[in-house]
């Protein structure tokens, strides 16, 4: 490991292994784009792994997703951030959409949902970002949700057990179409999906929204390439691999941007 890499590694260990202190209520990092992310929330540090901490400091979390957001979000847009984690992408989307926009951060993990609310408040975006504390799926009801030591890997138990699971909680699962029909959320112009293998269920649960409103869709795949491609192509979407030139069906764990062949 070269000296600069060693230094970075030590810095990351320092960021993620800080112990509780009665004198530290909340630390904040201001990163590129003027976004602030708190490193401490309600007496504990918000969930950040080593690579996340470094990327948050640099503002370089998921650059392909950020670029896709810049290409698809217009002023005043409505964005669904499905699988919002601690809310970094929600903050980016809210900045791009502006004060007239709206971001729905859909996140089932209680600590993560609390972190999204905190980050929206820190950045004076509480009027733009709404948190929906639930998992999105193709049926509604309670479900078991596995909390993994790396919080961005937490997922619904139906996707299978993860070896780093620390605990499980019961969460609410909602169909996004149902929330739109009930006027609980507004129809989107852009949807970002990162749900650790439940991508197909999310898309099936918003079929009517896709058919009627034709949003752009940014989605991370987790061994669901064929399932997701079948759903998107069947809905009349063209798909772009954001992670490289290979076709999405054979590209493995990549992120895609899907746009409708015809407008709503």
**Which domains, and CATH codes, for the chain?**
1-60 (no CATH), 62-260 (3.40.50.150)
Handedness of CA 101, 205, 176, 42 (dihedral sign): negative
- Cα angle, residue 39 at apex, residues 172 and 15 outer, rounded to 5°: 125
State the pLDDT at residue 75.
97
* Gap between the Cα atoms of 69 and 9, Å rounded: 30
User: Encoding tokens for residue 95?
Assistant: 């900045």
Q: What is the pLDDT of residues 94-149, one digit of tens each?
A: 999 999 999 999 999 888 898 899 889 988 999 999 999 999 999 999 977 777 76
Distances (CA, A) of 124 to 4, 35, 113, 158, 249: 35, 10, 17, 37, 40
* Gap between the Cα atoms of 82 and 107, Å rounded: 7
pTM to 2 decimal places: 0.80
State the pLDDT at residue 111.
84
State the pLDDT at residue 4.
40
* Gap between the Cα atoms of 65 and 67, Å rounded: 5
Name the residue among 50, 61, 62 with its Cα closest to residue 5.
50
DSSP code at position 69: H
Handedness of CA 157, 162, 163, 166 (dihedral sign): negative
Answer for the pair 191, 215: CB distance below 8 angstroms, yes or no.
Answer: yes
State the pLDDT at residue 23.
30
Name the residue among 101, 114, 252, 250 with its Cα closest to residue 188.
101
State the pLDDT at residue 61.
79
Q: Which helix (H) or strand (E) holds 82?
A: strand 78-82
Positions of the chain with pLDDT under 50: 1-27, 39-51
Helix (H/G/I), strand (E/B), else coil: 123:
coil
Answer for the pair 244, 198: CB distance below 8 angstroms, yes or no.
Answer: no
φ, ψ dihedrals at 104, nearest 5°:
-105, 110
């Amino acid at each position: 490991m070269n000296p600069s890499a060693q230094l970075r590694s030590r810095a990351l260990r320092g960021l993620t292994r800080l112990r509780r202190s009665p004198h530290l209520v909340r630390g904040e990092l201001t990163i590129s784009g003027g976004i602030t992310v708190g490193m401490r929330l309600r007496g504990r540090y918000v969930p950040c792994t080593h690579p996340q901490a470094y990327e948050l400091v640099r503002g370089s979390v998921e650059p392909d997703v950020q670029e896709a957001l810049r290409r698809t979000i217009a002023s005043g847009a409505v964005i669904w951030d499905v699988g919002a984690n601690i809310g970094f992408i929600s903050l980016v989307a809210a900045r791009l959409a502006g004060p007239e926009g709206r971001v729905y951060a859909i996140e089932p993990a209680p600590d993560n949902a609390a972190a999204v609310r905190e980050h929206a408040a820190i950045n004076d975006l509480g009027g733009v970002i709404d948190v929906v504390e639930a998992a999105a799926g193709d049926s509604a009801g309670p479900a078991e949700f596995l909390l993994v030591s790396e919080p961005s890997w937490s997922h619904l138990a139906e996707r299978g057990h993860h070896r780093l699971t620390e605990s499980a909680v019961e969460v609410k699962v909602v169909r996004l179409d149902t929330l739109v029909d009930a006027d609980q959320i507004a129809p989107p112009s852009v949807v970002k999906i990162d749900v650790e293998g439940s991508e197909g269920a999310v898309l099936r649960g918003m079929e009517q929204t896709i058919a009627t409103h034709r949003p752009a869709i940014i989605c991370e795949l987790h061994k669901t390439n064929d399932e997701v491609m079948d759903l998107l192509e069947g809905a009349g979407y063209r798909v772009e691999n954001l992670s490289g030139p290979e076709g999405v069906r054979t590209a493995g764990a990549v992120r895609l941007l899907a746009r409708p062949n015809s407008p709503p």
